């Protein structure tokens, strides 16, 4: 009989609100418990979701009998907290990014090997409709050989002041101006999760910020970072090249992928997405496959949202025709989703992996391939764009029992 899990959600802030009901509804989850350093937030979430057991901090959850811990804390805390949870013998789900330094990610890989626990990064781009489509086409071999890819994550800081003030408190400037390439996973994963090729070398340029709000200033953030936008060119292990943009000052928004093969290509922009073949020359619109049933929640219903999210279509609360919802538990039907239909798939991946011991697609080795190229790209921009080698931690085993 498959063991049902006890899951501890750590961090009951804005993002966790969208995930708590999904963990609660999953048939392989027996109980969900909550933790937050902020007593008021914790009590509010416990009341809202009818949860009886709460803990004042991650330390207490680690000492409890939960099987798994899902981390939804501030982005710079994930690495050390995931390590702590695995050392306590728990399976770990972590919101992105998995870590912010090479040391942290190396420690996480080692911790998975030693603890033989599931680690999964909740990379929302992995289940974006266009990424699923490209993965399918790549698997069929329809692209031919990949020659070039470009992916981007545009999130202007106009929509981030409130987020970073909330996350960072009175010292928010210390963490707000992090190098854009330290949060590269939404863009890099769009290419790496499709082709399976890894990034081997990088040359990156940084755009020195022009706006005088103290965010991207050398003496205000802990990285002494002055770049608000970074553009990197990568050499890939399959011989192709890939350009990644991580922009925080930009008159644009969202994630986007263009992928070019010797036989066919995929292109997208805000006007739509097309599949292009050279012989016979054709360009087919894919919008019908990607359009989600965008059921946007009311502002007061507590499900993840922000004024920015409500103002754009980039969060898409429903699912798209390309999403294989038949693989999801029936209990998820009608529940809110988020980030273009990805949340339900991510929760299901994690819970099923913990129960079966089969590694999820976004395991620690893959998480490293989404993150490390960005960390090295930032180093390259500090060295005037010098081409640097990207270290790799190897391929993931299929199952925990293979470790």
Ligand X SMILES: NC(=O)c1ccc[n+]([C@@H]2O[C@H](COP(=O)([O-])OP(=O)(O)OC[C@H]3O[C@@H](n4cnc5c(N)ncnc54)[C@H](O)[C@@H]3O)[C@@H](O)[C@H]2O)c1
Q: Does 339 bind ligand X (CB under 6 A)?
A: yes
Q: Does 36 bind ligand X (CB under 6 A)?
A: yes
What region does 330 belong to: left with phi over 0, alpha with psi -120 to 50, or beta?
A: alpha
Task: Evaluate whether 267 touches 258 at the Cβ level (below 8 Å).
Answer: yes
Among 3, 27, 38, 213, binds ligand X (CB under 6 A): 38
Among 6, 41, 110, 291, binds ligand X (CB under 6 A): 41
Query: Of the two residues 260 and 317, which places its CB atom closer to ligand X in the complex?
Result: 317
Query: Of the two residues 187 and 353, which places its CB atom closer to ligand X in the complex?
Result: 187
Strand-pair category, 68-71 with 91-95: parallel
Query: CA-CA distances (angstroms) from residue 127 to 189, 228, 242?
Result: 10, 27, 20
Residue range at the interface with ligand X (CB under 6 A); choices 21-29, 36-44, 195-203, 390-398: 36-44
Helix, coil or strand: residue 246: strand
Q: Does 57 bind ligand X (CB under 6 A)?
A: yes
Which backbone phi and psi does 8 adopt, to 5 degrees? -105, 120
Residue range at the interface with ligand X (CB under 6 A); choices 19-27, 66-74, 108-116, 291-299: 66-74
* Cβ 57 to ligand X shortest distance, Å: 4
Query: CA-CA distances (angstroms) from residue 241 to 147, 233, 365?
Result: 7, 7, 21
Site string for ligand X, 193-232 (x = CB under 6 A): ----------------------------------------
Strand-pair category, 241-247 with 227-236: antiparallel
Nearest-5° Cα angle at 253, 376 to 160: 75
Query: Of the two residues 35 and 221, which places its CB atom closer to ligand X in the complex?
Result: 35
Among 28, 44, 53, 74, binds ligand X (CB under 6 A): 74
Q: Would you give the end-to-end CA distance of the chain in angstroms? A: 23
Q: Does 189 bind ligand X (CB under 6 A)?
A: no
Query: Of the two residues 74 and 237, which places its CB atom closer to ligand X in the complex?
Result: 74
Among 24, 45, 54, 73, binds ligand X (CB under 6 A): 73
Site string for ligand X, 110-149 (x = CB under 6 A): ------------x-x-------------------------
Query: Of the two residues 77 and 109, which places its CB atom closer to ligand X in the complex?
Result: 77
What is the rounded distance in angstroms from the CA atom of residue 15 to the CA atom of residue 8?
15
Among 24, 35, 45, 265, binds ligand X (CB under 6 A): 35
Helix, coil or strand: residue 178: coil
Q: Does 69 bind ligand X (CB under 6 A)?
A: no
Query: Of the two residues 13 and 149, which places its CB atom closer to ligand X in the complex?
Result: 13
The label of the residue with tokens 């998480």 reads 367
Residue range at the interface with ligand X (CB under 6 A); choices 37-45, 169-177, 262-270, 379-387: 37-45
Angle, in degrees to the nearest 10, between helices 185-195 and 364-382: 120
What region does 69 belong to: left with phi over 0, alpha with psi -120 to 50, or beta?
A: beta
Q: Which two tokens stand for residue 9?
A: 């959600």
Among 8, 13, 177, 302, binds ligand X (CB under 6 A): 13
DSSP 66-83: -SEEEE-S-GGGHHHHHH
Largest CA distance in the chain: 63
By CB under 6 A, the count of residues binding ligand X is 27
Nearest residue by C-beta to ligand X? Answer: 13
Q: What is the binding site for ligand X (CB under 6 A)? A: 10-16, 35-38, 41, 57-58, 72-75, 77, 95-96, 122, 124, 163, 166-167, 339
């Amino acid at each position: 009989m498959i063991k049902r899990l006890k899951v501890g959600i750590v961090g009951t802030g804005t993002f966790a609100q969208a995930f708590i009901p999904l963990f609660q509804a999953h048939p392989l989850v027996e109980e969900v418990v909550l933790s937050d350093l902020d007593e008021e937030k914790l009590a509010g979430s416990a009341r809202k979701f009818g949860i009886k057991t709460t803990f004042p901090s991650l330390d207490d959850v680690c000492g409890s009998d939960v099987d798994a811990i899902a981390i939804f804390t501030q982005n710079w805390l994930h690495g050390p907290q995931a390590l702590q949870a695995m050392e306590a013998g728990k399976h770990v789900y972590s919101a992105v990014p998995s870590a912010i330094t090479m040391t942290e990610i190396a420690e996480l890989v080692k911790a998975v090997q030693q603890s033989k626990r599931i680690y999964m990064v909740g990379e929302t781009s992995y289940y974006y409709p266009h990424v699923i489509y490209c993965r399918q086409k790549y698997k069929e071999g329809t692209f031919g050989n990949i020659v070039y890819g470009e992916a981007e994550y545009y999130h202007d800081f106009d929509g981030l002041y409130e987020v970073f003030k909330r996350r960072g408190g009175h010292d928010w400037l210390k963490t707000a101006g992090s190098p854009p390439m330290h949060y590269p996973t939404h863009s890099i994963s769009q290419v790496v999760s499709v082709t399976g090729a890894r990034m081997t070398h990088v040359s990156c340029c940084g755009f020195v910020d022009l706006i005088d709000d103290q965010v991207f200033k050398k003496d205000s953030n802990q990285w002494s970072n002055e770049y608000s936008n970074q553009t990197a060119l990568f050499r890939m292990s399959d011989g192709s090249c890939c350009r990644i943009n991580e922009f925080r000052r930009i008159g644009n928004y969202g994630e986007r992928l263009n992928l070019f093969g010797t036989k066919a290509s995929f292109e997208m922009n805000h006007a739509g997405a097309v599949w292009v073949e050279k012989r016979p020359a054709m360009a087919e619109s894919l919008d019908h496959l990607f359009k989600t049933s965008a059921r946007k929640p009311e502002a007061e219903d507590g499900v993840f949202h922000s004024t920015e999210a409500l103002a754009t279509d980039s969060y898409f609360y429903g699912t798209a025709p390309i999403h294989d919802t038949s693989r999801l538990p029936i209990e998820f039907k009608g529940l809110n989703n988020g980030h273009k239909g990805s949340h339900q798939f991510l929760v299901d991946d994690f819970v099923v992996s913990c129960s079966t011991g089969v590694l999820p697609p976004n395991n620690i080795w893959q998480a490293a391939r989404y993150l490390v190229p960005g960390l090295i790209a930032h180093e390259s921009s500090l060295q005037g764009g010098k081409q640097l080698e990207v270290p790799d931690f190897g391929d993931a085993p299929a199952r925990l029992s293979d470790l």
